[in-house]
Amino acid sequence: MQITVVGTGYVGLVTGVTFAEIGHEVICTDVDSAKIMKLSRGEVPFYEPGLQQLMVRNLQNGRLRFTTDTTDAYRFRDVICIAVGTPSRPDGAVDVSYIEQAVLEVAKAIEQYTVIVVKSTVPVGTNEQVRAMVQQHTNCPFDIVSNPEFLREGSAIHDIYHGDRIVIGADSDRAADIVTELHKPFGTPVFRTDPRSAELIKYASNAFLATKISYINEMANLCEKLGANVDAVAHGMGLDRRIGSPFLQAGLGYGGSCFPKDIRALLHMAESAQSELQLLRAVSIVNEQRPYVVLDKLKQRFSSLRNLRVAILGLSFKPNTDDIREAVSLVMMKELLKAGASLIVYDPIVNQAKGNPVLESARFAGSMKEALDWAEASIIVTEWDEIRSFPLLQYNQETLKETIIFDGRNCYALAEAERAGVEYYSVGRPAVNERQPSHLLHS
Ligand SMILES: NC(=O)c1ccc[n+]([C@@H]2O[C@H](COP(=O)([O-])OP(=O)(O)OC[C@H]3O[C@@H](n4cnc5c(N)ncnc54)[C@H](O)[C@@H]3O)[C@@H](O)[C@H]2O)c1
Ligand SMILES: O=c1ccn([C@@H]2O[C@H](COP(=O)(O)OP(=O)(O)O[C@H]3O[C@H](CO)[C@@H](O)[C@H](O)[C@H]3O)[C@@H](O)[C@H]2O)c(=O)[nH]1
């Protein structure tokens, strides 16, 4: 099929490249001309494992191309997928202006029956609004299909090939058949429904996953009071197939470009519809407290954080991505700087401030060792493989002094910390080699 993907961010680019890989003729377009130039040269502007290789292969075989020319991109296509951003407004509502702008350009350009697929995460009712907008600007026949995306950053290619479902929200059987056909080579089960339900499935799914995370994080708080181990609790719970083990990893909570934004959006949608989502409100509050749970441990250990040298290990909102949107590392750094601490940061991929004011106030280390050499306390924020597999024994041996470890992602077994003789604080588990509060280390 002749496909166009609008927006070359994490979703758009991965979608375009994988559609080309399964045999479609794909054009990707973006308003950001610098990005399009970069992509045309075969350079992926962000870090996503496996994407570069797949993209270059499809550029070379001619099934994939990039352009800023919207007439070229929209005129004679079977399917146009919209994958532009839908950020939060200050009140939590979704800013759909990028969708509106993209759709307007599509409506003005199409010259044959076209299926317009909305892949972006959009509030319930948006697909209907989009239909009305397109109708006003074209006499061409068209259909709108809601087709929310469920990929995760860091494992996006894997997720596209091994998805649990493809949701198709359409009023037209003809359009739903085309979108089903489009995805057929992936072999993923298809669920067809109406557009409003499809739109809500996306938000309800993200909110449910976030609920699992906040639930286990509250259990972690309780474990600390009762002397239980949250990793054992999560494991034992997850063995029940009705519960399942994914998304029960306690820690610093969820961040990223989706969960926080989508939960704000769902709360806003519910409020506008005079429907109260009490559970989801609590999920969000629990999540906002997570960085402070670990920061409080630091405050208890050191009576003052002033001039304390702290290493932040991991900056991205999760491993295997360079995305720092709503990353918990930024909240923690801001609070530590406010308390007068000095920071060194290390992340295997995020190695510059990217114009972020919080990151600009920290020193970047070129390696874990450099960060540990300098720091008196280390906070594990993102569980990159390199960070989680760093031998605990080396924390002290490398530095020839004691580095107190605050592990926000429970990367190490408690027995390992005991064996290594390190002073180790994690989440929802007893402390190892706990010492009394002191100023000594940084006096
Ligand atoms: N990031 C994820 O993992 C993920 C997963 C599932 C769903 N989503 C949803 O998918 C959507 C896109 O997310 P993202 O993270 O890929 O966004 P992104 O911010 O990384 O990229 C969006 C791209 O759209 C481009 N754009 C904006 N207006 C445009 C227009 N009129 N024409 C052409 N291009 C335009 C921007 O320049 C940018 O390159 C959002 O609704 C998001 O909630 C994201
Ligand atoms: O047990 C867990 C699992 C995740 N997280 C955190 O939750 C956040 C989100 O993680 P993840 O869901 O793996 O990454 P995303 O790329 O944000 O993907 C989510 O958001 C996307 C955008 O909507 C959806 O498409 C995906 O299905 C959904 O998983 C990260 O900060 C993780 O550290 C935990 O704290 N504990």
Same domain, 333 and 189: no
For residue 252, how far is its CA from the centre of ligand 1 (angstroms)?
A: 26
Total domains present in the chain: 2
Is the CB of residue 195 below 6 angstroms from any atom belonging to ligand 2? no
Same domain, 184 and 291: no
Q: Which residues contact 319 (CB under 8 A, 6 or more apart)?
A: 154, 382, 383, 384, 385
Nearest atom in ligand 2 to 154's CA: 16
Is the CB of residue 206 below 6 angstroms from any atom belonging to ligand 2? yes
| Domain-located, residue 332 | yes
Pairing of strands 166-170, 190-193: parallel
C-beta neighbour count of 145 within 10 angstroms: 25
186 CA to centre of own chain? 23
Is the CB of residue 10 below 6 angstroms from any atom belonging to ligand 1? yes
203 CA to centre of own chain? 14
Nearest atom in ligand 1 to 86's CA: 41
Which residue of 4, 27, 30, 209 sits with most ligand 1 atoms within 8 Å of its CB, as the best mutation to test the pocket?
A: 30
Is the CB of residue 249 below 6 angstroms from any atom belonging to ligand 2? yes
The rounded distance, in Å, linking the Cα atoms of 203 and 95 is 15
The rounded distance, in Å, linking the Cα atoms of 245 and 237 is 7
Residue 395, token pair as written in the block: 């924390």
ipTM value, please give it: 0.99
| Domain-located, residue 271 | no
Same domain, 294 and 163: no
Residue nearest to atom 10 of ligand 1 (CA): 120
The rounded distance, in Å, linking the Cα atoms of 258 and 86 is 10
Q: Which of 368, 377, 371 is nearest to 422 (CA)?
A: 377
258: annotated active-site residue: yes
The answer to whether the beta carbons of residues 329 and 381 sit under 8 Å apart is yes
Handedness of CA 407, 413, 414, 420 (dihedral sign): negative
234 CA to centre of own chain? 22
Is the CB of residue 152 below 6 angstroms from any atom belonging to ligand 2? yes
Same domain, 11 and 152: yes
β-sheet bridge partners, residue 167 = 191
Per-residue pLDDT of the chain (443 residues; tens, 9 = 90+): 999 999 999 999 999 999 999 999 999 999 999 999 999 999 999 999 999 999 999 999 999 999 999 999 999 999 999 999 999 999 999 999 999 999 999 999 999 999 999 999 999 999 999 999 999 999 999 999 999 999 999 999 999 999 999 999 999 999 999 999 999 999 999 999 999 999 999 999 999 999 999 999 999 999 999 999 999 999 999 999 999 999 999 999 999 999 999 999 999 999 999 999 999 999 999 999 999 999 999 999 998 999 999 999 999 999 999 999 999 999 999 999 999 999 999 999 999 998 899 999 889 999 999 999 899 999 999 999 999 999 998 887 655 567 899 999 999 999 999 999 999 999 999 999 998 776 544 44
The domain boundary residue, chosen from 159, 176, 193: 193
Please report which helix (H) or strand (E) contains residue 20, including its range. helix 10-21
| Domain-located, residue 239 | no
Q: Which residues contact 210 (CB under 8 A, 6 or more apart)?
A: 254, 259, 263, 283, 284, 287
Residue nearest to atom 9 of ligand 2 (CA): 254
The rounded distance, in Å, linking the Cα atoms of 84 and 88 is 13
The domain boundary residue, chosen from 162, 193, 224: 193
Same domain, 143 and 28: yes
The domain boundary residue, chosen from 193, 210, 230: 193
The rounded distance, in Å, linking the Cα atoms of 406 and 408 is 6
Same domain, 181 and 316: no
Same domain, 293 and 422: yes
Pairing of strands 190-193, 342-346: unpaired
Ligand found nearest the CA of 287: 2
Residue 303, token pair as written in the block: 């009576």
Prediction pTM value: 0.96
Is the CB of residue 199 below 6 angstroms from any atom belonging to ligand 1? no
For residue 273, how far is its CA from the centre of ligand 2 (angstroms)?
A: 27
Ligand found nearest the CA of 83: 1
| Domain-located, residue 221 | no
Which residue of 88, 152, 326 sits with most ligand 2 atoms within 8 Å of its CB, as the best mutation to test the pocket?
A: 152
| Domain-located, residue 41 | yes
Same domain, 144 and 291: no
Nearest atom in ligand 2 to 202's CA: 23
The domain that holds 69 is classified in CATH as 3.40.50.720
| Domain-located, residue 7 | yes
Is the CB of residue 130 below 6 angstroms from any atom belonging to ligand 1? no
Residue 66 belongs to domain spanning:
2-193
- Burial of residue 416, with CB atoms counted within 10 A of its CB: 0-12 exposed, 13-18 middle, 19 or more buried: middle
DSSP label at residue 432: B
Residue nearest to atom 29 of ligand 2 (CA): 152
Is the CB of residue 97 below 6 angstroms from any atom belonging to ligand 1? no
Residue with tokens 């402390």: 431
| Domain-located, residue 136 | yes
Is the CB of residue 259 below 6 angstroms from any atom belonging to ligand 2? yes
Same domain, 182 and 300: no
Is the CB of residue 407 below 6 angstroms from any atom belonging to ligand 1? no
Which residue of 259, 320, 388 sits with most ligand 2 atoms within 8 Å of its CB, as the best mutation to test the pocket?
A: 259
Same domain, 304 and 163: no
Same domain, 301 and 178: no
| Domain-located, residue 248 | no
The number of C-alpha atoms within 13 Å of 287 and in the hemisphere containing its C-beta is: 25
Burial track 377-406 (b if 16+ CB lie within 10 A, e otherwise): bbbbbbbbebbbebebeebbebbeebbbbb
Q: Which of 349, 331, 328 is nearest to 339 (CA)?
A: 331
Same domain, 170 and 27: yes
Is the CB of residue 80 below 6 angstroms from any atom belonging to ligand 1? no
For residue 159, how far is its CA from the centre of ligand 1 (angstroms)?
A: 17
Catalytic residue, from 28, 223, 258, 411: name it: 258
Q: Which residues contact 94 (CB under 8 A, 6 or more apart)?
A: 86, 87, 88, 121, 122, 123, 261, 265, 268
For residue 367, how far is its CA from the centre of ligand 2 (angstroms)?
A: 26
